[in-house]
Amino acid sequence: MRGMVPLDPITTVSQARYAVVFVPRRSRKRFSAGCVEVKASREEALTAEDVDNKRYAAIVIGPSKSSEGQYLYYLSEWIGKF
């Protein structure tokens, strides 16, 4: 994905993680860290999903620091029901 920092094979700084993402539209591909709640497993992310309140289960990659100093997560894929 354009702008995404590639995964670092040596460290665990920017890795694929299960998460619940609060987002008004699922058309976005990157999210600020404040909108992402990292979960330990796929099952936890799916259980915490709340579509009525715009909280969707996903696999995200990050965190990554933007040029503006914000921490971002990038969407790898939506895994929940919607």
Rounded CA-CA distance 59/72 in Å is: 13
Query: Domain boundaries in the chain?
Result: 15-78
State the DSSP H helix or E strand holding residue 38, giving kind and residue range, or none if neither: strand 36-39
pLDDT at 72 over 80: yes
Task: Give the per-residue pLDDT at 6.
Answer: 60
Q: What residues have CB less than 8 Å from 78, skipping those under 6 apart? A: 26, 56, 57, 58
- Over the stretch 4-48, which tens digit does the pLDDT of each residue have? 656 656 666 678 999 999 998 888 899 999 999 999 999 999 999
Task: Give the per-residue pLDDT at 53.
Answer: 95
State the DSSP H helix or E strand holding residue 43, giving kind and residue range, or none if neither: helix 42-48
